Amino acid sequence: MPISRPLTLALSKGRILEETLPLLERCGVVPEEDPESSRRLIIGTNRQDLRLLIVRATDVPPYVEHGGADLGVAGRDVLMEYGSEGLYDPLDLGIARCRLMVAGRPGTDFTRGRPRVATKFINITRRYFAARGIQAELIKLYGSMELAPLVGMADFIVDLVDTGGTLRANGLAPLETIEEISSRLVVNKASMKISHRRVRALVDDLAEAVKAQESL
């Protein structure tokens, strides 16, 4: 009996997509065309019951929460910034690992006074500093965070750090870790109820793929 509506998995191009595809392949899922090079935003797979939806990383949570996709893969940073109360969050895929950190000039103290902090993670940063009793002035930027302290626009930044090479190249240093980040599988709550068997099967398959990859 043919499946009337395939499950839709939302992914974003870049590191998350690159590291998710091998996990999907372990589950027997292969895209019909290369998502990185294709101009199509909806891509079928070799499975009739599953297709991929290519969206911006920050759009994965709203697409999943509001039913544009049944499942999605998003970084923990994106979920923390968006607020994931409206989503099921059943599985840490253990991919695209990095750290969300406060950074600034080496040896500086971000807990004194009223620091100016540049970041695209406004919600996370506000909660973090408020929890420490620090009244920070937040400046929203979308990229090139390291420039803000260099030109005197901000005292510190909050950003994702992988190797720390970009910070060092610009005379900055990581000062404190806010959160260890990896990418997670999230599920639409209605889809979990309506298509429970198919959704649960894919979650379980991906969980096994994660275990197999971690054992290598």
Q: Which CATH class is domain 7-96+182-214?
A: alpha beta
Q: What is d(CA 87, CA 102) in angstroms, rounded to the nearest whole number?
A: 27
CATH 3.40.50.2020 fits 98-179, yes or no: no
- Read off the pLDDT of residues 43-62 as tens digits, 9 standing for 90 and up: 999 999 999 999 999 999 99
Count of beta carbons in the 10 Å neighbourhood of residue 211? 11
Q: What is d(CA 92, CA 210) in angstroms, rounded to the nearest whole number?
A: 9
- Read off the pLDDT of residues 61-87 as tens digits, 9 standing for 90 and up: 999 999 999 999 999 999 999 998 899
Task: Decide whether 7-96+182-214 matches 98-179 in CATH topology.
Answer: yes
Task: Please check the confidence at residue 202 and state whether its pLDDT lies above 50.
Answer: yes
Could you give the angle at the alpha carbon of 177 between the alpha carbons of 60 and 160, nearest 5°?
40
**Residue ranges of the domains in the chain?**
7-96+182-214, 98-179
Q: What is the pTM of this model?
A: 0.92
Task: Please check the confidence at residue 1 and state whether its pLDDT lies above 50.
Answer: no
